[in-house]
Amino acid sequence: MESAKEMAHGQKPKWEGKACAELAGAKAEQVWPFLEDFFGLNKWFPTLHTCLPVEGVSGQPGCVRYCAGFKTPVNSGDDIINWTKQKLLSIDPTEMTFSYSIIDGNVGFNSYVSSVRVVPREDGCNIEWCYEVEPVEGWVLENLDTFIGSGLQVMAKRMEEAVSVGVATDISNN
């Protein structure tokens, strides 16, 4: 049911969620470069086979990536090739955070906006992924929570492994 505020402003209610992954032994400064590479999401997100630049420079606000090949909880058995175009809205390397929106696609995400942040911890770091989107036809919020949450867990594991074999550079050199 829509709130009075939403009805008065013609806004649809939005789903909101947050996923978090803990990375043990991987410093935030080691993990951030993986996420900062906006056109490199396919290296980390499970089942995402394609992530290509559409416009702009990776890591610069306004750049757009095309992502395809991922499966969602709704169509995991179908032969549909899911795709989205995602625009980087903001990025702050000092705070290790960025936000992006889905501007086109065939998965039914309208008004999707997400922010991703790396949070330093004494024994590693956390990756936090917050998102909001208008309700998606054929989905329930738990589908989106599962999709993003499980995807983030796989990303974190892959990033931990990359750090452990020296793919990332420790910029502090300590």
- Please give the residue that has the higher pLDDT: either 6 or 9: 9
Q: Which 3 state secondary structure label does DSSP give 4?
A: helix
In angstroms, the CA 72 to CA 61 distance is 27
Mean pLDDT, rounded, of the chain: 87
Which helix H or strand E contains 20, and what residues bound it? Answer: strand 15-24
13-164 belongs to CATH 3.40.50.2300: no
In angstroms, the CA 168 to CA 57 distance is 21
> Taking the domains of the chain in order of start, what are their residue ranges?
13-164
In angstroms, the CA 9 to CA 33 distance is 39
Model pLDDT, residue 148: 93
pTM: 0.84
Q: What is the DSSP string of 105-145?
A: ESS---S-EEEEEEEEETTEEEEEEEEEEPPPTT--HHHHH
**10-43: b (≥16 Cβ within 10 Å) or e:** eeeeebebebebebeebbbbbbbbbbbebbbbbe
Model pLDDT, residue 87: 98
Residue type, 155: M
Model pLDDT, residue 7: 46
Model pLDDT, residue 137: 85
Q: Which 3 state secondary structure label does DSSP give 100?
A: strand
- Please give the residue that has the higher pLDDT: either 78 or 25: 25
In angstroms, the CA 35 to CA 65 distance is 13
Q: How does residue 3 score in pLDDT terms, banded at 50, 70 and 90? A: very low
Share of the chain above pLDDT 90, in %: 69
Q: For residue range 56-84, list pLDDT tens digits in order.
A: 999 999 999 999 986 665 555 556 788 99
Model pLDDT, residue 11: 66
